[in-house]
């Protein structure tokens, strides 16, 4: 049941019956953790499971991974080998560094890159972009980015991008006058969407834009439904709920007979649940009753814990996501232990480095481990070494059965 390293690989293959959690516990209890540094374990098998789930549940939609969500090399290499890399202009260097044959397209606006590195496909949502493209890249295949309702998303994107439905006809007319080829429509309902009906509304709006283009003699062939899919089991909605809504909307507005190609750009869906963090308590403070604000809080002491990772590291998404951090205590406390109101802080000198508060947990000690699940999306990709603290090491693992499956599909990822 012991893990073994693959030859010339960043990935550790887990033997039958050995899980990513087992691997994490082995590191915690091993001799190599004398300094008790924080570390991450990334389960590539979880990523593959998510892919197979997507293909089964949304059979008409081809998913392309959004690298901006998590650009760790083994993740990108795996999905690139599976031909599921999505396009982002800031990631052009991946095709050189990874020696991969990536298909690059620019699925956001505005675009301002040299002609010689331009993709054929780019998005636009305003006249200025159309004029710029007509002058600098007249052979581009343009995709009109439609404004979507993202009020129920964790991170809203349409405050920055997207054309309202009311101006789409004008934009299509302008594109025709400039002889710019518009081949499709895209939209994004926001990262971490919690309302499946938003997809249905956006797909219906996209159908109207297709009809506008048809009336102008322009034939569109591509619909990009973006991302926003839930990436964890504790999300407000399930992936299956979202998929059912999308499938019904596509059957209504874009039936297979239409010949329109449907693609998507999942990011957090693939990687959110694949990463887990182990961090150590490096300091502790007890707030006794005299220090507490308000007599009502004076009955019990409050606990303050500092761990060796924080919002400048694996919790960097805390800057733009309001998510509830739920630590798992590695050493299970006994039921008789009293519960205290506790807060959790990172290691830096910044007063903003607060990970969680109002945690009702037993008293912990310096040296104890805390585990955190679902930290794969928009975490390490936005992390820094602020205050001189190094980022946690990432251990990439893959279950043996996943490796066998990939090899049977001729995927050379490990």
Rounded to whole angstroms, the Cα distance separating 76 from 61 reads 20
Rounded to whole angstroms, the Cα distance separating 308 from 337 reads 25
What are the angstrom distances between the C-alpha of 262 and each of 61, 62, 346? 5, 6, 43
Name, in order, each residue with C-beta under 8 angstroms of 388's C-beta and a sequence gap of 6 or more.
Answer: none
Task: Select from 102, 97, 6 the least CA-distant residue to 404.
Answer: 6
Quick one: residue 190, left, alpha or beta (phi over 0 = left, psi -120 to 50 = alpha)? left
Enumerate the active-site residues: 349
Answer yes or no: are the C-beta atoms of 369 and 331 closer than 8 Å.
yes
Task: Select from 80, 3, 75, 5 the least CA-distant residue to 46.
Answer: 75
Task: Select from 224, 187, 238 the least CA-distant residue to 50.
Answer: 238
Calculate the CA 356 to chain-centre distance: 21
DSSP symbols for 60-86: TEEE-EEGGG---HHHHHHHHHTT-EE
Rounded to whole angstroms, the Cα distance separating 103 from 114 reads 17
Tokens of 43: 């389960």
Tokens of 32: 């190599």
Rounded to whole angstroms, the Cα distance separating 375 from 78 reads 19
Asked, as a colleague might, if the bond just before 110 is cis with ω within 30 of 0, I would say yes
């Amino acid at each position: 049941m012991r893990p073994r390293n693959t030859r010339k690989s960043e990935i550790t293959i887990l033997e039958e019956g050995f899980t990513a959690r087992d691997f994490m516990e082995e590191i915690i209890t091993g001799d190599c953790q004398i300094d008790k540094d924080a570390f991450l374990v990334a389960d590539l098998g979880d990523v593959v499971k998510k892919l197979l789930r997507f293909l089964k549940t949304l059979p008409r939609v081809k998913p392309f991974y959004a690298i901006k969500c998590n650009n760790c090399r083994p993740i990108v290499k795996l999905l690139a080998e599976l031909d599921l890399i999505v396009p982002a202009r800031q990631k052009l260097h991946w095709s050189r560094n990874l020696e991969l044959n990536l298909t690059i397209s620019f699925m956001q606006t505005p675009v301002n890159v040299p002609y010689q590195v331009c993709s054929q496909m780019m998005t636009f949502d305003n006249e200025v972009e159309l004029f710029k493209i007509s002058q600098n890249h007249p052979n581009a295949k343009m995709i009109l980015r439609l404004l979507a309702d993202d009020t129920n998303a964790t991170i809203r994107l349409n405050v920055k991008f997207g054309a309202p439905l009311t101006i789409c006809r004008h934009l299509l007319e302008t594109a025709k006058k400039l002889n710019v080829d518009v081949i499709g429509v895209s939209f994004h309902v926001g990262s971490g969407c919690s309302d499946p009906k938003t997809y249905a509304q956006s797909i219906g709006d996209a159908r109207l834009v297709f009809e506008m283009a048809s009336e102008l003699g322009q034939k569109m062939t591509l619909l990009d439904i973006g991302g926003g899919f839930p990436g964890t089991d504790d999300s407000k909605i399930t992936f299956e709920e979202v998929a059912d809504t999308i499938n019904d909307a596509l059957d209504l507005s874009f039936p297979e007979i239409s010949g329109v190609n449907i693609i998507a750009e999942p990011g957090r869906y693939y990687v959110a649940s694949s990463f887990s963090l182990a961090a150590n308590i490096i300091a502790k403070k007890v707030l006794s009753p005299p220090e507490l604000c308000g007599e009502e809080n004076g009955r019990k002491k409050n606990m303050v814990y500092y761990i060796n990772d924080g919002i400048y590291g694996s919790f960097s998404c805390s800057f733009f996501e309001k998510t509830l951090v739920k630590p798992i205590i590695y050493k299970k406390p006994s039921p008789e232990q009293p519960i205290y109101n506790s807060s959790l802080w990172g290691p830096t000198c910044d007063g903003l480095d607060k990970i969680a508060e109002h945690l009702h947990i037993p008293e912990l000690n310096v040296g104890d481990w805390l585990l955190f699940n679902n930290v794969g999306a928009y975490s390490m990709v936005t992390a820094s070494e602020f205050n001189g603290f190094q980022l946690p090491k990432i251990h990439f693992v893959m279950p043996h059965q996943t490796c066998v499956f990939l090899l049977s599909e001729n995927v050379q990822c490990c």
